[in-house]
Amino acid sequence: MRPSALRALCLLLPLFPLVSSAHADTVSSPQVPSRTELERVDGSSALRWVKAENAKTQQALTSDPRYKPLYERILAAQQSPDRLAVPTQMAGEIWNFWQDKAHTRGIWRSTSIVNFQSGHPIWKTRFDLDALAKAEHANWVMEGLNCLEPDDQHCLMGLSNAGEDAHELREYDTSTDRFVPKGFALPNGKQVVSWLDQDTLLVSRDWGAADAGLTTSGYPYVVRALKRGQSLSQAQDVFRGTASDMEVAPMVLRDGQGRQLYLIDRHKDFFHSDVERVDPKTLHVSQLPMPEKYDGLSYQDGQLVFHLLQDWKTAHGNIPADSIVAIDPEHPGLPEVIISPTARQTIGDGMEGAIAATKDGLIVVLYDNVQPKLMLYRRSENGHWTGRAIELPKNMAATIVSSDARSSDAYLQLEGFIQPPQIWSVDTARQTTHLLYSQPHLFDASKLTVEQQFATSTDGTQVPYFIVHAKNWTKNSLNPTLMTAYGGFGLSYLPVYHPDLGITWFERGGVYVMANIRGGGEFGPAWHEAARYAGHQHAYDDFASVARDLFTRNITSPKRLGIRGRSNGGLLMGVEFTQHPELWNATIIGVPLLDMLNYEHMAAGASWAAEYGSISTPEGKAFWEKASPLQALKADVHYPTPFIFTSTRDDRVGPVHARLFAARLQQLHVPLFYYEDTEGGHAGTVNAAEVAHERALEAIYLSKRLMDPR
C-alpha cells in the first residue's frame, strides 16, 4: 500500500499434528521479548527471537517429505525460460527486466521492435544487476529505470537495499550501457524524481533540514530543482507541501506531438490531491483546477486524461465518479467525458495499467461484473471522443504493461487463474489487437475450471467470488479450500496466474476462492467507499458471508477451509482470525497490519489514515478498539494455528505488527508458525529461491491443516 496497489486450538492438536514437539514446547516459553524490544527492527533481542522462530518454523515444515519436491517445482517454475518477457518500450527498442537461475537479481536486456513482434526475439544483455551486486558487495534489488524522453538515453536507475522502498539513484546511459561518470547520483532515501531536461531534475526527497524532511507518513514533501554538478544543498526550491501531507511528487507527461506537462502531485492524504503545473523555464508553479480524487493521469493529443474517483460538479454539469475525463491544461474550464461506467462496471483494478495514451489514441481497461473489456478511443477535431470495445476472454485480468506516446503500439497482458499470461499487441492507429505470445502452462490445468458465484452479505449486498476447482469435483463439504481477498484502498482482486499456487494447491486437489469484497474497486469508487473507516466491517462481513456461502453450497466446511491475505489483506486475515475463529482451520497472515490502535505511528502508517480513520478521532478509536486484531486476541479462545510471515526490511508496513501479534499468541499459549524474511521489503521475497522457500512452507502448512487425513 503506497501512492505513485490480516486472521481452544489445544483441543484440536491431537487431530491436527501440525508442530513438532520442539515447536510446541517453545509456545509456552517465557522468553518472549517485550514490545519495546520487538519494536527495534534491527535490535539484537528482537533478531534473536526472529532467528529462533524462523528455525522452529523451518524445522517443523521443511522436515515434511513433501517440502523438497514442492520447493524444487516452485523454483523451477519461478526460473522457467518459458515465462513471458514483459515488454517495456524504451530508446526505440523493447526492453525487459529478466530473472532466472543464472541471473537471480536480474538483467536488463533489449531487442528490436520488429524482432519482438516476430515472436522469436533475440535478446541482448544491457545491464547485469548480479554483476554490480557482486562487485560492490551489496544486496541490490532493481527499482526500475526512469528515462528522459524522447531519446531515452539518459536514465535514472533505482537501486534498493534488499527491497526497501528507500533507494538510491544513479544516472545510466542506454547508448553505452554504463553509469555516467560524474553523472547524477542521489543517495539512499524515499524519493521521487522526474527529468526537467538533460541537465536538470525535479527531486522530492528528504533534504536533511527540519523544514524540508519527511511527512508524518515518512515520505518527502519538498520538491527542488537539481542541476547537473550541484550538490543536494545547492538545489533550488520549486514547491513545498507540508509535513502533514502524505507525499509530494513531481511528474512529467509527454504526448505524441511532443508537448510536455511538468506537474507536481501533492497528495494531501492517500486519496486527495492537488495538481500543480510547473513552468519549465521559470519554475513558477500554478494549481490546475482538478478534482481532489483521481488516478490514471495520461496525456493524449494535448489533453490531460484522468480517472475520476469522486462526483465532480462543474460549471457545465455533474460528472459521476468512475468516469474518464479529459481537460485542456491551457483552457481547463470545459471537461470532456470519455466514458462513464455503469454501477456494475469500473475502470481497471485501482493500480497502474488501466489507462494509457499513444500517439493517436487512448486505451482503457474496463471491467463489467469483474469481467474485462478493452476500450480503444480517439479524439476527433471537434473534441468528441469515439471508441470501440474489444471483447476479451472471461475470468481473466487485463493490464496495459507498456505504451509509448511516440508510437501507435502498446502491449496488453492477459492472464487468469488457470490461463497462463499472454502478451497482446495493441495498434491504436488501426484500433486492432493481435496475440503475440502465450506462455506455456507451468502446472497442469487440464482438469480445472473457473466459475463465478455470488454470496449475500449480512446487509443484503451481493458479493461476487471466483472458484477454481476440478471439473469432476464432488460437493460433499470435504473439499480442502483456500480463500483470499483484499478489500481496501479501492484495489480490485482479479484472476492472476500463480504457478506456485497451481503446483502446491490446484494440482493436489485444492479448491481456491477469491472474494471481491467491498473496500476494493471491483464496482468503482462506491464499492470502496462502502468499506472505508468504520465501514471496514462491511468488508469483514462480506468475507465471512462468502465462507458461509461455501458451506451452504456443500463445497467445504470449517475444518477444510483456510484463508490467506497480505498487507491490507493481512489485516483482513487478522480480523477474521479473531472475529470468526470457528470458520477456518488455517490462516496465513502476510506482511500485515495488526496493531490498529497504534498503526499511525508505525512505519508509513500515518499515510493510511484516509483509509482506516485516525485513532486520534473518537470514531476511529471506537471502531478499532473493537476490531484491531492484536487487541482482540483473548485467552481461552480456540484459535486455529496461524502461519504469519513478514520481512525485516519492510519499511512500509514494517515487521513490528507481525512480531507483536505472534508474541501475544505465544503469551496466550497458542501454537503458531512465524517466518520473517530478512530481506525483500513489503513486496515480499526478492529472488526465486526465497519465493520458492516461503511458498513451500505455506504449502506444507496448508497440507497439514486442510488436506491430511483426520
Q: Record the cell numbers describing residue 356, joined without a space.
A: 494509457
- Look-up of cell digits 508510437: 407
Give, in order, the Cα–Cα distances in Å from 104 to each of 1, 57, 107, 273.
26, 25, 9, 38
Could you tell me which of 324, 348, 375 has the C-alpha nearest to residue 494? 348
Identified catalytic residue from 194, 204, 323, 567: 567
Q: What is the DSSP letter of 414?
A: E
298/302 Cα distance (integer angstroms)? 10
DSSP type of residue 639: P
Residues 564 and 588: beta-carbon distance below 8 Å: yes
How far is it, in rounded angstroms, from Cα 658 to Cα 309?
A: 32
Cell of 469: 476447482
Question: What span, in angstroms and rounded, lies between the C-alpha atoms of 263 and 195?
Answer: 11
CA–CA distance, 647 with 655 (Å, rounded to integer): 6
Helix/strand number for the chain, H first, E second: 15, 40
| φ/ψ (deg, to 5) at 88 | -130, 120
Q: Which residue among the candidates 204, 682, 693, 703 is catalytic per the annotation?
A: 682
Which residues have a Cβ under 8 Å from the Cβ of 474 and sit 6 or more positions away? none
Residue 441: active-site member: no
Catalytic residue status for 457: no
Distance CA 100, CA 106 (A): 7
Residues 6+ apart with CB under 8 A from 608: 1, 270, 593, 599, 600
Q: CA-CA-CA-CA torsion for 267, 401, 144, 488, nearest 10 degrees?
A: 40
Nine cell digits for residue 636: 481461552
What gap in Å lies between CA 245 and CA 345, rounded to an integer? Answer: 32
- Return the sign of the alpha-carbon dihedral for residues 355, 410, 352, 485: positive
List active site positions. Answer: 567, 682
